[in-house]
Amino acid sequence: MDIMNIPEHIMKRIQELPMVSDVAVRLMDIISTEKHSLQQVIDVIEHDVYLTTRLLRIANSAAFARGQSISTIQRAVVNLGEDLIMGIAVGACSGDVFQKELKGYDGSTGALWRHSLLTAFAAKKISELVVKNPPNSSLAYTAGLLHDIGMAALSEFLEQGSKKLNGVGNDEGGKSYVDVEQELTGTDHTELGYEIAKNWQLPEELLYPIRYHHEPSKAPAEHKEIVYCVHLGDILARCTGFGVGNENLSMHLDSEYVDYFNLNRDHLDMLIVDIQDEFERVRESILGPMENEVVDHKTILIVDDSKTARLVIKRCLEIAGWQDEYFLEAENGIEAIEFLGNHPVDIIFTDLNMPRMGGEQLIKLVKSKPEFQNIPIVAISSLNNAAKTEELKLLGVKTVLGKPVTPMDIVNSIKGM
Ligand SMILES: [Fe+2]
Ligand SMILES: [Fe+2]
């Protein structure tokens, strides 16, 4: 482990941080060993009345009960699954560490918890795609859950400088997020997280992903697999629009990840959809209803020759609150024009490069016809090019989004339409 010089006043503060409960630590220990029995998990949970009550309540919620009443912890464990139980135990037994408002990061109440859960789902899924020496998937899940724990402690020391963090990541090759934290406080959330995890006496394997998730190539060789799972999981969680406040867009993907996983670009897009689905399924049961963006129902025409790309846009829109029956999908400009002739359309999302008729020609055609010219168009481009964006705006395009699109991009692009 590299040498860390954490300022004394911050180090003192983390010692005062509420401890994660013994129950959660014991569960982590049990679940992260390859061979363990269901009974071992149940024995630990049953000693904690608060956790038992909470698990039974969640197991009886609409998402899990499937019409049955669940009255024993054994049934609850089987229905919820060990990983989710781990998540609930950590969330329920760590005071307000995950729930507090992170002012230093412009993060709202609960933002760290949502981001941590999404990263956990993603890290677990990714751990199953590791080519050599795959890490225990429950360990990857737990590491995802805890990777940003240092933020909970560092936030209060960043409040004065949080504006400085807002701009990080906008200029390619500039300072990293962790560099700016170091500049402002003398330490960063990965160093602090590592110290907190040690303080909580968490299993050793969990310390490395916490310490190196922003710089996975620096992790010791024997821990790189799990560190890369969390690194990639963290980035995918942000692609769903749930980072922590201003951390959202600031992290660069370490290209070395390709050495560890059997993954391509389409896989990554599908993983984003998968983890969102899984998160949506459990969100309400464990987090309660979330203040969702309320949007009027409109008819949206999605034009893209890739089925996966259309699906990703559709899922992003659904997460933003739009309903299924209002989507129309076309594979190219010609099909889009046919749709426009037969259906009233409120918004068009279009890719640019498509066979038969591309996006630019479609945009020109739409804008030249009085009956269509007022339909707002969002263009999605894989070229991140300011001149092209300007050109498209001159043609009358409302917004130009870069690929890969995220639900947050989509929500922002449809605001006020
Ligand atoms: Fe982080
Ligand atoms: Fe993160």
What structural domains and CATH numbers belong to the chain? 21-90 (no CATH), 94-287 (1.10.3210.10), 300-414 (3.40.50.2300)
For the cut 50, the answer to whether the pLDDT of residue 295 exceeds it is: no
Output DSSP code: residue 14.
Answer: H
Q: What is the mean pLDDT of residues 276-287?
A: 71
* 290 to 273, 280, 294, 328: CA distances (angstroms): 19, 11, 11, 28
Q: What is the mean pLDDT of residues 16-45?
A: 81
> What pLDDT was estimated at residue 293?
39
> What pLDDT was estimated at residue 290?
46
- Ligand positioned closest to the Cα atom of 151: 1
* 303 to 39, 70, 334, 345, 352: CA distances (angstroms): 52, 46, 10, 12, 9
Which residues does residue 176 pair with via DSSP β-bridges, in sequence order?
A: none
Q: What is the pLDDT of residues 110-159, one digit of tens each?
A: 778 888 888 988 999 999 888 888 888 888 988 998 899 898 889 888 87
> What pLDDT was estimated at residue 203?
84
Ligand 1: centre distance to CA 129 (Å): 22
> What pLDDT was estimated at residue 148?
92
> What pLDDT was estimated at residue 172?
47
Ligand 1: centre distance to CA 102 (Å): 13
Q: What is the pLDDT of residues 57-111, one digit of tens each?
A: 888 887 777 778 888 888 888 888 888 888 888 776 566 677 777 777 777 767 7
Asked which of 154-168, 228-242, 325-339 is least confident by mean pLDDT, the reply is 154-168
> What pLDDT was estimated at residue 263?
80
Question: What percent of the chain clears pLDDT 70, i.e. is strictly above it?
Answer: 84
> What pLDDT was estimated at residue 325?
52
Identify which of 245, 25, 262 has the alpha carbon closest to the alpha carbon of residue 126: 262
d(CA 160, CA 184): 9
Query: Is 161 buried (19+), middle (13-18) or exposed (0-12) by CB count in 10 A?
Result: middle
Q: What is the mean pLDDT of residues 188-198?
A: 92
* 108 to 23, 242, 295: CA distances (angstroms): 28, 11, 21
d(CA 73, CA 79): 10
Q: What is the pLDDT of residues 386-414, one digit of tens each?
A: 888 888 888 888 888 887 777 667 767 77
- Ligand positioned closest to the Cα atom of 113: 2
d(CA 364, CA 350): 12
Ligand 1: centre distance to CA 213 (Å): 6
Q: Say if strands 377-381 and 399-402 run parallel, antiparallel, or are unpaired.
A: parallel
Question: What percent of the chain clears pLDDT 90, i.e. is strictly above it?
Answer: 22
Q: What is the mean pLDDT of residues 47-65?
A: 80
Identify which of 373, 366, 379 has the alpha carbon closest to the alpha carbon of residue 409: 379
Ligand 2: centre distance to CA 114 (Å): 10
Residues lying with their CB under 5 A of ligand 2, a single-atom ion: 148, 234
**3-class SS at 173?**
coil
Which residues does residue 377 pair with via DSSP β-bridges, in sequence order?
A: 348
Q: Is the peptide bond before 404 cis (omega within 30 degrees of 0)?
A: yes
Strand order in the sheet with 347-351: 327-330, 300-303, 347-351, 377-381, 399-402
pTM to 2 decimal places: 0.68
> What pLDDT was estimated at residue 62?
75
For the cut 80, the answer to whether the pLDDT of residue 221 exceeds it is: yes
Asked which of 27-31, 35-39, 316-320 is least confident by mean pLDDT, the reply is 316-320
DSSP 288-331: ----PPP-----EEEE-S-HHHHHHHHHHHHHTT--GGGEEEES
> What pLDDT was estimated at residue 220?
94
Q: pLDDT averaged over the chain?
A: 81
- Ligand positioned closest to the Cα atom of 189: 1
Ligand 2: centre distance to CA 295 (Å): 28
